[in-house]
Chains A and B, each alone.
Chain A
Amino acid sequence: MSKRILFVDDEVDVQKVAVFRLRKAGYEVVTAVNSDEAWDWIQRETFDLVFLDLRLPGITGAEMCKKIKSDEKLKKTPVILFTASVRNLALLTKEVGADDFLIKPFETEQLLGKVKRAIFRENQ
């Protein structure tokens, strides 16, 4: 069964290309454009990975991540932060409990690599 990824980004274009890549790589991707929608999805369905853009309408990606990670059911779900602002990203990642981060713009290998790692880290 292919892995399910929840891709949360309010930039449609970015989403489009990233999701294309992911799907090309064989992942099942669900998209959301804001945190509420994302939250809905998470609650309803299980995902193997959540991609969170930091800049989101509603709750920020960071908050979202925290929320996920503090949720009993969801905390096991790997989260990758996705953002253009580099400032203290590593620190932030740790802080919110995310598993990894990806800087925009990204290299395809980077993207896929991180995804793979995150999912399989979880599975181990």
Chain B
Amino acid sequence: MTISSPQFKNTEVGEARLSAEVLAERGGSHSLIWIVLVAGLVISVASAFLLKTMVQASQRKDFLAQCAEIKTEIANKLDDHARILWSAAALFHASSQVSRREWHLFIEKQNIETQLPGTQAIGFALWIPREELSRHIQTVRDEGFPDYTVHPAGERDVYTPIVYLEPFSGRNLAAFGYDMFSDPVRRAAMRRARDGDAAALSRRVTLIQETDEDVQPGTVMYVPVYRNGAPLDTVDQRRSALVGWIYSPYRMKDLMRGILGKRLWEKRWSLRLQLFDGPRALPESLLFEDGPLNETSFLPGATLSHEMPIVFRGSAWTLRFEKSGVGMMSEECAIVRFVLVAGTLISVLLAFLIFSLSRTRTEAVRIARKLTGNLKASEEKHRLLIENSHDIIYTLDRQGVFTFVSPSWAMLLGHPENQVLGQSFQPFVHPEDVKRCELFFRQAMETGQPQVGVEYRIKNAGGGWRWHVSNVTPLKDSEGVVLGLEGSASDVTDRKLAEEETRKSSDMILLLLNSTAEAIYGIDLEGNCTFANPACLRMLGYESAEQLVGKNIHQMIHHSRVDGETIPPDACKICQVLREGKGVHVENECLWRFDGTSFPVEYWSFPQRIDGKVSGAVVTFLDTTERRVTNEKIRQLSEAVEQSPASIVITDKEGNIEYVNTKFVQVTGYSVKEAIGQNPRLLKSGERPQEFYKELWETILAGKEWQGDFHNKTKDGRLFWESALISPVKNENEKITHFVAVKEDVTERRKVQEEIKRQSALITSLLDSIPDLVFFKDLNGVYMGCNPSFAAFIGRPKQKIIGKTDYDFFSKDVAEEFKKHDQIMLETGELRHNEEWITYPDGRRALLDTLKSPYWGPDGKVFGILGISRDITRRKKAEDELAESERKFKTMFESSKDAIMILTPEGKYLDANFASKELFECKDVSQVLSMTVSDFSPEIQSDGKKSFQKASEMISEAMEKGSNFFEWVHKRLTGTEFFSTVLLTRMELRGRIVLQATVRDITELKKVESLKNEFIGTVSHELRTPLTALKESIGIVLDGSAGDVNEEQKDFLGTAKRNVDRLSRLINDVLDLQKLESGKMSFDMQENDMNFLIEDVRNTMEPVCARKGLSLSAQREEKLPPVTIDKDRMIQVLTNLVNNAIKFTEQGGITIGIDYKDGENTYRVFVEDTGPGIRQDDMPRLFRRFEQLKISGSRKTGGTGLGLAISKQIVEAHGGKIWAESEIGKGSRFIFLLPVKEQRSRRRV
């Protein structure tokens, strides 16, 4: 057992604490550093600043001094310049005339270049009033300057040309003759000089002498020259005394350079000078500047500047000085810089010094702290260890006496400290263990090495023993001499006890191992057998464990599979256990016996662990041979059940499903999982009543088998039939434990059964409903069955028929006859069909059409005789009648004189009678039949239409209307054409729609007709001619044109005339009628106003009416549109109607009118009278030819009898209708209806 020490957290805490302190300290020193640094910097800066100020002050002083110096210099120099000029002026004073040459010499002597550097020239300008200018110019020219002019040119009051100028060369030449007064700047200075009698400096000018090179600003100094001896006290005096000026131009740069030289650039000076013309330093008045350029410096105080005015003889200039390089970066300030830098440096150094010092200190402190901490920590550790350990810490001296024991001693063992200290250990230790302890301690002390693991019993206060285990460490002094031992002991009583227990149990285990029938062996990590129990040895056929122990088990017994395939150790599951530390359970491997045979085993292998690490494995195995066999049997059995074509359900005794086979799943759609636990009633379709299930339960609970059908439902609701056998399963005590249901799907079978039932029901119904007699007999002629009709026929109920024979029902001969037929049929095996006259039982005779057929049984053999009889008496009659009528028809057909043909709607002849053959001049009827309509017609008919086309039209009409009567031009086979009439009638012949065509040759008729027409035409003409003569002759005499006539003569002549007229009318009417009827009348159809017509007729007929005392009125119909009519013919009709009305009306009046409703396409015209009316019987006769109604009195009316017939024809030809309405006593009304638009009616022959 090892002692593990608790971890200390204290050290870390200590450390942390340490750091904080250090930081705090550091912080302190930090602030010092900063203070020092800052102070130092401040001081250095301050002193630097101070120094700088001082330096700068002195700098400034120097600077100013320099400025003043220069100014003085300049001023002086200017004075010098002036002096020269004055001396030049003096020359003029001294001598009355100064010649050019004198001037030249004088100036030369002055040596102005050296004396007055910067002076361009010295010259003299003469003051000349205008009036003297030309003289002057001349004078000068005479001197030898032919080109001399005073310039600039122009009229001025005075001129001041430059006349003398030295040096008289180069640039200066340009100034010769220049009138300076013309320039305002110069003028100002000149005036100043003149008026003040002083030298004057002009403002900034550009000198005349200037060329383009190096253009400098310049200035001119003037000194006045007065007349010798003139008073000069006042300005005026001076002005009048002026002779001229001495002047000297200066180029500024040259002048200044001359004055200053290079002074400005000298190190000492290092000034920048700007000279401005005027009192202010403005850039535009800059005259001159020189000196080193200022570098822009951002250091404050880097540049000094100063402005000072300089006045010279009234001219004010401004001097501006700039000195750069002062300030911090200047030489003077070097010391400042030095101070600054030095000071800073010193401060920094100081600060750093302090910093490092402090750091060192803190570091040292830190280390010290740490060490202390550590020490403290370990001390602490130790202390805690000692105090808190459950282990006892003790020390023994060399004698084995306790010098120290930790508090745990007291705690664990109950002896207080004081009782232990000073005692030797032996009394505390169990006598049996004392020796061991002594040995142990001695070992430690002698070797000087720590010793571990001594176990002993130690007394506790209660008198009991505790097992302890102890480790000791020798305590040595500095020389290594063992002073004593320090030891720690822990209580291992429990362990010991446990060990004891373990031993006990391992004995037990051993016992178990040896006695168990299960084979158990163990292996170590290498797979070598560590033990094997007797059962194992027995099963494997080994005699002793030595044979296995120590050997590699895998090699010995587990090396291969049943089929001989080697199992490599890696694949060995048992060994796997060793590797993975997980138990395995294997069923399908085998082990090998000592004798080389193998047997199937089921084994478990579990890892052995020691202290959590796998140290080996224990394997238990069973010989599963027998089990296998049993399993196999079971398997086979269950396979059978599984694969049974029947659904098998096994339930517990409550009816909960425990097992279902595959078929069940298939049939019901429920999976095994879904079924198990359920009650079979889940299949219930609900069809069966409760009692059904109740009965089932009762049966099976009583221990009996139950058989029945279920109408069940699959999972998806489909219904099916099952025939089930449910049996109870009993255990040994005859108690029911399970129920087994074996079910067969009989859905199909039931379906079939039902089908059969249905079909047989169908057959029965059929048979029963067939009016025919149906019966069947067996091979001996005994009736097996029949239908009600047959029973009715026999006159007996079905039951009475079955079992009997024909002999029982019919007379012997008849029965014999039947039998004969039956026999024949049975022999031939074919159907027999015959007609027989039968006498009903009630004496009626009937013709039966009997069909007899063999009755084939299911096995293919003849079973009996099947017969169906039909009473065909009526049919026969009908057939006979039909045949009769056909014959009649045929006779008529053949004997008719008219050609009658039957043809198809397509125009093909199906049949033709004799007459047709004759008509068309064919050889025989069959020739006719080979023709079509087109063959018997010419190509074109008389109306121009193609026969082919017209024929189909005619046929269509016949088909549509049922019949069609028309004229047709036919062509005989011989080619001759002839007129005919055709009557096409649609009819049905033997189920086919055909047309019957009756063709009549009307050539004769036509001839007759044309003859008639001709006759009538001729006759009428022939009749008319004499009539004309007759009429006129009578007329002439009658009206006295041929002489006087007496009354009697007049009377008879009148008679004659009347009759002539009548005759004439008759002829006309006949002609008209004939024309109309033959369709030969032509109508001149025009639009007319009917009202007008009526009016016309009214006018014409009015006198006639008036003569009879009748009124005649005409009604207009305004809404009637113009109508299309033959005017004359209509008038004819109206006249006729009115005439009739007049004829038949005695009193009252006649009205002509129109009925028309707006928008209609027909209108009615009527003629109404107030006559006696027309009898209903007479109505049909009205419009007939030559029919005249009698007026009361049977007086002939004198008409032709054709009027109405003609009117009818006319109206109908217009496409209208005419009729009469009348009421006896009230009057009559003749109405004709006409279409508004022309509409010809079909002409009919």
Contact = CB atoms under 8 A, between A and B. Distances in A.
A18 B1028 CA distance: 9
Interface in B991-1036: 1017, 1020-1033, 1035-1036
A45 interface: no
A39 to B, nearest CB: 23
Given A86-B1071, A88-B1082, A105-B1064, A11 B1029 contact: yes
B1084 interface: yes
Contact of A17 (B1029, B1082, B1084): B1029
B1192 interface: no
A76 to B, nearest CB: 28
B1041 interface: yes
Contacts of A83: 1021
A84 B1029 contact: no
Main secondary structure of the interface of B (DSSP, over half): helix
A24 B1036 CA distance: 10
Interface in B163-183: none
B269 to A, nearest CB: 155
B1024 A17 contact: no
Given A85-B1021, A86-B1071, A20 B1028 contact: no
A53 to B, nearest CB: 9
Contacts of B1033: 13, 16-17
Interface string A47-74: 0000000010000000000000000000
A20 B1017 contact: no
Contact of B1084 (A16, A87, A90, A105): A90
A104 interface: yes
A85 B1031 CA distance: 17
Contact of A108 (B1020, B1025, B1030, B1032): B1032
Contacts of B1042: 20
Contacts of A88: 1082
B1036 A105 contact: no
A10 B1119 CA distance: 52
A20 B1036 contact: yes
Given A18-B1032, A108-B1032, A13 B1020 contact: no
Contacts of A85: 1017, 1020-1021
Contacts, number: 64
A104 B1029 CA distance: 9
A4 interface: no
How big is the B interface, by class? 20 to 34
Contacts of B1017: 85, 87
A20 B1032 contact: yes
A120 interface: no
Contact of B1028 (A24, A55, A106): A106
A75 interface: no
A21 interface: yes
Contact of B1032 (A21, A55, A90, A91): A21
A84 B1036 contact: no
A13 B1025 CA distance: 9
Interface in A1-60: 11, 13-14, 16-18, 20-21, 24, 55
A104 B1035 CA distance: 14
B168 to A, nearest CB: 150
Contacts of B1064: 105
A14 B1025 contact: yes
Nearest to A53: B1025
A105 B1031 contact: yes
A21 B1036 contact: yes
Contact of A104 (B1025, B1060, B1082, B1084): B1025
Contact of B1029 (A13, A86, A108): A13
A17 B1057 CA distance: 14
Nearest to B1027: A105
Interface string A93-105: 0000000000011
A84 B1020 contact: yes
Interface string B1078-1092: 001010100000000
A104 B1028 contact: yes
Nearest to B1071: A86
A8 B1041 CA distance: 23
Interface in B486-505: none
B1053 to A, nearest CB: 14
Contact of B1021 (A17, A18, A84): A84
A105 B1021 contact: no
Contacts of B1023: 84
A60 to B, nearest CB: 13
A17 B1041 contact: no
Contacts of A18: 1028, 1032
B1024 A105 contact: yes
Given A20-B1041, A105-B1064, A84 B1025 contact: yes
Interface in B1050-1101: 1060, 1064, 1071, 1075, 1080, 1082, 1084
A13 B1026 contact: yes
Given A11-B1025, A14-B1025, A20-B1041, A105 B1020 contact: no
A114 B1231 CA distance: 35
Contacts of B1021: 55, 83-85
A104 B1027 contact: yes
A43 to B, nearest CB: 28
Given A85-B1021, A105-B1064, A108-B1035, 5 more contacts: A11-B1028, A11-B1029, A16-B1029, A84-B1028, A91-B1082
Interface of A: 11, 13-14, 16-18, 20-21, 24, 55, 83-88, 90-91, 104-106, 108
13 contacts: A11-B1028, A14-B1025, A14-B1029, A17-B1031, A20-B1032, A20-B1036, A20-B1042, A21-B1041, A87-B1080, A88-B1082, A104-B1027, A105-B1024, A108-B1032
Interface of B: 1017, 1020-1033, 1035-1036, 1041-1042, 1060, 1064, 1071, 1075, 1080, 1082, 1084
Which 9 A-B residue pairings sit nearest by Cβ, starting from the closest?
A: A17-B1032, A84-B1024, A13-B1029, A105-B1028, A104-B1028, A84-B1021, A105-B1031, A14-B1028, A14-B1029
